[in-house]
Structure 1
Amino acid sequence: MKKISLSSMVLALLFLLFACSNETEQSEIEDKEQSQQEEVDTDEVEEGVVVEEDEIVEEVEEDKEGRTMGNYTGNIMNGGTISLTEETVYFANLFDDYRLYELQLSSGEATKLGDVEVSDIHIIEDSLYYIKRENGHPVGIEHYSLQTKETEEIYSGYVEMLHLEDGILWFVGIIMEGPTVVYQLDIETGMTVETDFIEVAFTLDHGQVVIQQEIAAFIEDVENGTSEKLVEGVRHPLILDGNHLYYLTNDGLYVYNLETEESTQLVDEVVDYYNAKNGHVFYSLMVEAEAARSLYYVSADGTEQKDLEAVLYELHMFDDFLIGSFSRQGGGGYYKVDFETGEISEVYSPMN
């Protein structure tokens, strides 16, 4: 029988232990590498989710910022002589032959920007667009850069009811010496397109168009070229505010709900001029003498009505307040009416 020496047994045992140790160590290394790979994969997935969420947020923000709105249609129906961005007012100064001015509401400081008569003012970022007039007559559309202080004529000819939405100027113009037509002018390209709306007035709000043809109001589907009659017996001006169409008749002021297709009479006397926005309606009645004139308020649901015991013209409405003008021999100015408090305060006086 062959004998195995003690030294051989020890060497064999050491070899076996070394082999097992290497196998365990290799297994631990593989487990560690697999764990690290899983962490990497998880990070990539989480990072992918974050990227997708960021993309969604960016898309939503772009959608919100995609619609550019100029001056409110109700303000345009009141002459469009006042436009607002944050705390800065751009206005056609009644006390300087409707020349263009800039007014800081916080300080009351006013600066003259130009020496031409203007109306239908729109402010978009650092640009103003407005109708240029000569002795009250419209002669074209100008662009004014708030950065360079330079003006540029972008349309020449008769223009009224200038609206601005999504980079498109909508206005009533004249074909040669023929009838009035609603045009669209692309600000970026300068291209002017003639619409099918002939001999009409119109009001535009958030892509919805309502036209007045003679004494009837129609809502227009511009893309499909269809039209639906809403109400009859109307007189200018119409004001579209979301799903509410405000209109005058010979017996008062009404609001038509586009969703319920119902009309509600808000005022049962003949209205001279008015403006309406966000459920607030301000108006003045037809009077035989200006001394009898007053400014009234009524809520859009007709539940609240009051005499403000003040006189304002050129009613321009914004989110939280109205700005209007007042001029009588020996005085006048521009005044703000706060929607929440009803307080009336002066914002500009030519005497200051």
Structure 2
Amino acid sequence: MGKKATVITAILSVLFIAFCIYNVFFAGKIKPNDPSTIGNSAGNLHNNGYFCEDDGVVYFSNPYDNGCLYSMNPDGTQMKKLIDASVKYINAAGEHLYFCQENASSNNMLSFLSQNVAGIYRTTKEGRNAYCFSKDLTQIISLSGNYLLYQRFKGGEGMSLFKSDLEGKANEMAVDYEINPACIQNGIVYFNNTPDSQGLYAFHVDNNTVSSVAEGNIWFPIIQGGYIYYMNADDNYRLYRMELSGHSTEKLTDDRVDNFNIGQNYIYYQKNDPSQPAMKRMGLDGLNPEIVMNGNFSNINLTSTFAYFHAFQSRTELYRTPVNGAINVTPFTAAMEAARQEQTK
């Protein structure tokens, strides 16, 4: 019996040591992504990243619950509140979510932040195990492969582009000037203008180098199907597209554009007009423009099923229409009802 007890003790000791080794070297590790992975579409991130779809689930900032993070099916069913914190620039990849938090309050899960201080966080897709990358004032964040890119402001130093691994252990300044990291393809960020010159540039995520792509006053680039779509600031912010290969350009609309987003079949955009403003959509080639809804709108976010947009200067007036097929604009009442149910718990 004594020998048997010794064997059991030895086995338990080995298991305990193995458990400790696992926790030291593997626990908390983030499974690597494919290098071509992106955390959200460029169009959504240009529009504050309030919606993000990944692996059949939509994650979104619910304006009827102070912008708290929710999840749902693409059709808007099965809504679930994930965290009690206001979020934007939502990214998703693998088993985790990455986002910017705004206006933290003392009673939420990230309450170690003081009032009105933004920060960058990672949680599981269930909203658990929050990790803070940075408590500094930040703007757009995006995920490229196994890196998180974000604009970070340090007092007196201005806005710079920072890069972190997904575990937050290697966090560095990538470029010492402001780069919008929303538009990413195959580990390359496409952005407009450097401090010294105007044009379209490429930031290479793997080695932090910048190269010139094309000339032009190009704003809010989005890559889709071999083209870069953009607002041409030299032509009253009208929408253009440029071939990635030959750099030939074409104008898509004579409308002045405030903001836009691109799905698989349509470009959604806000027409700037003093007397007849409207949310509109047209084909990717600029053909068959049609009015989605008259008025001024912003924050155009697209999922596989719906196009979402806010009334201008109103976070609590949210509409949606099928992203493809016939236009049918309705208030996003399901999000309002989900928020009401949460507030009565």
> 1:206 is matched by which residue type in structure 2?
N
Q: Which residue of 2 aligns with 1:20?
A: none
User: Structure 1 pair 221/85, CA: closer, same or farther in 2 (3 Å)?
Assistant: closer
User: Structure 1 pair 286/145, CA: closer, same or farther in 2 (3 Å)?
Assistant: same
Q: Aligned-pair distance for 1:197? A: 5.4
Percent sequence identity is: 18
Unaligned runs of 5+ in 2: 1-31, 105-114, 339-345
Greater relative contact order (Cα < 8 A, sep 6+): 2
CA deviation profile, 1:166-203 (whole Å, cap 9, x unmatched): 12111111345212111111013521122235133343
> 2:281 is matched by which residue type in structure 1?
Y
**2:222 is the alignment partner of 1:231:** no
CA deviation profile, 1:136-182 (whole Å, cap 9, x unmatched): 96621111223473322122212211111212111111345212111
Q: Aligned-pair distance for 1:112? A: 2.4
User: Structure 1 pair 164/244, CA: closer, same or farther in 2 (3 Å)?
Assistant: same
Aligned equivalents of 1:319, 1:103: Cα separation in 2: 13
2:51–2:61 contact (8 Å) kept in structure 1: yes
Q: Aligned-pair distance for 1:340? A: 3.8
1:138–1:159 contact (8 Å) kept in structure 2: no
Q: Aligned-pair distance for 1:350? A: 1.1
1:219–1:230 contact (8 Å) kept in structure 2: no
**2:71 is the alignment partner of 1:102:** yes
Q: Aligned-pair distance for 1:326? A: 4.7
Q: Give the alignment partner of residue 280 of structure 1, picking from 237, 242, 266.
A: 266
Larger radius of gyration: 1
The correspondence of residues 243-262 of structure 1 with structure 2, limited to 5 A, is 243-248=226-231, 249=233, 250-262=236-248
Q: Which residue of 1 aligns with 2:291?
A: 307
**2:119 is the alignment partner of 1:140:** yes
**2:130 is the alignment partner of 1:151:** yes
Aligned equivalents of 1:229, 1:66: Cα separation in 2: 21
What SS does structure 2 have at the residue aligned with 1:131?
strand
Q: Which residue of 2 aligns with 1:263?
A: 249
Give the count of matched residue pairs.
Answer: 286
What SS does structure 1 have at the residue aligned with 2:274?
coil
What SS does structure 1 have at the residue aligned with 2:44?
helix
User: Structure 1 pair 185/66, CA: closer, same or farther in 2 (3 Å)?
Assistant: closer
Q: Give the alignment partner of residue 82 of structure 2, picking from 95, 109, 113.
A: 113
The correspondence of residues 67-216 of structure 1 with structure 2, limited to 5 A, is 67-106=36-75, 108-134=77-103, 139-147=118-126, 149-188=128-167, 190-196=169-175, 198-202=177-181, 203-213=183-193, 215-216=198-199
Please, what TM-score do these two structures have when normalized by structure 2?
0.71
**2:308 is the alignment partner of 1:323:** yes
Q: Which residue of 1 aligns with 2:25?
A: none
> 1:153 is matched by which residue type in structure 2?
C
Please, what TM-score do these two structures have when normalized by structure 1?
0.70
2:191–2:202 contact (8 Å) kept in structure 1: yes
Structural RMSD (CA):
3.2
CA deviation profile, 1:282-319 (whole Å, cap 9, x unmatched): 10112437xx4322112222233222235653212234
> 1:313 is matched by which residue type in structure 2?
S
User: Structure 1 pair 69/219, CA: closer, same or farther in 2 (3 Å)?
Assistant: closer
1:205–1:242 contact (8 Å) kept in structure 2: no
User: Structure 1 pair 126/307, CA: closer, same or farther in 2 (3 Å)?
Assistant: same
